[in-house]
Structure formats: structure tokens, C-alpha cells
Amino acid sequence: MTGPLYLRVRDVPAAPPAPRGPSPTVPPTILTPMLIGAHVREDDPIATAAERGAEIVQVFLADPQSWKKPATHPQAEQLRAGELGVVVHSPYVVNLASLNNRIRIPSRKLVVQHAEAAAEVGAIGLVVHGGHVTQGEDAAAGVDNWRKFFERQADAGGFAVPILIENTAGGDNAMARRFDALARLWDAVGGFGAGFCLDTCHAHAGGEELVGVVDRAKAITGRIDLVHLNNSRDGFDSARDRHANIDSGTIEPDVLAAVCAAAGAPVVVETPAEGQRADIAFLRGALR
């Protein structure tokens, strides 16, 4: 496993010499690691990360298709204490925008629970899809549901880890597919400190050009906290969400590497497991 890549974030001026005694050791530059890793489904994420050369892992803490409360991860203590970066992805059933009480209310509860379980593993955040309303419903009401969610939780003391809202690939009523919709969502939630996760497959399949996408996203959200670096099996604006390994989809690998470099955030590939080691190695090589 090679060492982490580093981004130079700022140069630190040398401290003036101390009047007496040993002068403090001031490193010339503070380096922030640009972590590259993968979403892993294996029971032992620490071992799997080592096998694939991942410096950060994304995990589910429960069955992604279920409403079940997450259990404490068996490696929670090691993950929290260790060097490996961790991020948690919330279940797919969550839809915080939904106008249906029987979906929205349990979604809120599940996200709060997952944020607590994510804190136990030392996660940098909890990824939550933007969600959607259904056809004929008012998208503004979906955006307002997001705002209410953040507002209520702020009143209750906030989330245990940052919530990273992810752009999605499909649907005409999505909160975070097209960036004009993303802008309306951010007007509602940005003030509560919502984080942003940019998925390259979702952007491409959702109809957002990847060239310049980091700048366009940041102009809206002011931040990118995480990149889901995936190729897409389907074409531009296809609205289909099928991830591919970096060298095997409809997006040029160099375009993906450029997104990665521009974002300056941790990168996780959510690609077929057998190609993840090569995906990570490609990105690391491309960024060097």
C-alpha cells in the first residue's frame, strides 16, 4: 500500500525564535491527506481496505434496503481509533423530501440513528441521497421537508456527524439531480451546515457535464465534502444509475481524474469490487 497523497493547504510562517529554551519545532507546511478509497461491503472493512489500497472506506451500517436501526459495528472501536478514514452511507429507503408521512417520518428517524452509529465508527459524515417527490407533487414542498428536517434536528442538538447530501441520477422530481434543483435545495439547507457529496456517475447520467462540474457545484454549495468517483455504464442524461469501474464506462477516465483533482476532497469509488484496487491505483497515479 502506498502512502497517502497530500494537498498543500497552506504554508505556515516559521515561528519567531523563542527568547530562551529550545525553539519549538514548526513544520514548514501543514499537509492534509487527500484520501482515496472505496465503498466496501465486506465484514472486515479494515482488512478489505488494506487489500485494495484504500485509505478511506465507505460502509453501510445496516441493510441498505431496510428500515432497521443500525447495530454497533463489530469493528467500531478499531475504526474509530485507527488511521483508516471512514464514511457511512445511509440506506437507500431514506427519502427526506417525501410528502408521504409514512416515508418521511421514518426516514428522519433512520438518518438520526445512522448519524449516531456513524459517530461510533469515527466517520467524517453520513451520506444521504437528495431524495424526491413523486410525479405531480410540488418539488418546493420536498425542499421544505429537507429544511424542516435540519431545523428540527438543530433544535434537538444537531447531528452526531455531518450530513452529506448526494446528487442523484434519475427522476424529474429529484431534489439533487439537476443543479438548478440543487440550488433550490441549498437555499433551504445550506444555512444549517449541510455537506455535499458529488457522485460523478450520477452527475453524468443525471445530465450534468463533468467538465467544470466541481466549480459549478461549489458555486451552489460552497463545498464538496466527498466525491463518489464512479464511471457510468449508461450515457449522458440517461437517468440510469449503474456504476462502472473507471476504465470501463461511458466517461473518459481522464475526465474522472480531473474531477478528483479539482474537488480536493476525500474520494470513494463505489464501483464493482473486483476492479476497485485498479480504480484506486489509477486515481492515485493520475493525481501524482
Per DSSP bridges, beta strands 195-199 and 231-232 are unpaired
Binding Zn ion (rule: CB under 5 A), the pick from 36, 73, 90, 199 is 199
The strand pairing partners of 244, in sequence order, are 231
The window from 6-14, 47-55, 221-229, 279-287 that contacts Zn ion (CB under 5 A) reads 221-229
Strands (E), the chain: 5-11, 29-34, 36-39, 56-59, 85-89, 126-129, 163-166, 195-199, 226-228, 231-232, 243-244, 267-269
The nearest distance, CB 205 to Zn ion, in angstroms, is: 11
Annotate each residue in 154-193 with x if it binds Zn ion (CB under 5 A) or - if it does not, as one string: ----------------------------------------
Nearer of residues 55 and 270 to Zn ion, judged by Cβ: 270
User: Total binding residues for Zn ion by CB under 5 A?
Assistant: 3
Asked if residue 120 binds Zn ion (CB under 5 A), the reply is no
Supply the minimum distance, in Å, between the C-beta of residue 228 and Zn ion: 3
Q: What are phi and psi of 71, to 5 degrees?
A: -90, 160
CA 84 from centroid of its chain's CA atoms: 16
Interface positions, 227-286, toward Zn ion (CB under 5 A):
228, 270
- Least Å from the CB of residue 268 to Zn ion: 8
Question: Is 99 or 262 the residue whose CB approaches Zn ion more closely?
Answer: 262
User: H helices within 6-100, ranges in order?
Assistant: 45-52, 76-81
Report the residue number whose CB is nearest to Zn ion: 228
Minimum CB distance to Zn ion smaller for 199 or for 208 = 199
Residues in region 64-93 near Zn ion by CB under 5 A: none
Complex with Zn ion: residue 228 or 284, whichever CB lies closer = 228
Q: Which CB, 84 or 169, lies closer to Zn ion? A: 169
Q: Which of residues 4-23 bind Zn ion (CB under 5 A)?
A: none
Q: How far is the CB of 237 from Zn ion (least distance, A)?
A: 18
Distance CA 240, CA 168 (A): 10
When the beta carbons of 78 and 238 are compared against Zn ion, the nearer one is 238
Provide the minimum distance between the beta carbon of 126 and Zn ion in the complex, in angstroms, as a whole number. 13
Q: Rounded to the nearest whole angstrom, what is the least distance from the CB of residue 222 to Zn ion in the complex? A: 20
Query: d(Cα 5, Cα 137) in Å, to the nearest integer?
Result: 45
Tell me whether residue 29 or residue 115 sits nearer to Zn ion (CB atom).
115
> Percentage helix, strand, coil, to 5, in the chain?
35, 20, 45
C-alpha cell at 5: 497523497
Go through 46-57 and write b for each residue having 16 or more CB atoms within 10 A of its CB, e for each that does not.
bebbeebbbbbb
Rounded Cα distance, 140 and 77, in Å:
41
Residue linked to cell 424526491: 132
- Centroid of chain to Cα 237: 21
Q: Which one, 199 or 234, has the nearer CB to Zn ion?
A: 199
Rounded CA gap, 111 and 40, in Å? 20
Q: What's the min distance (Å) between Cβ of 267 and Zn ion? A: 11
Residues near Zn ion (CB under 5 A) are 199, 228, 270
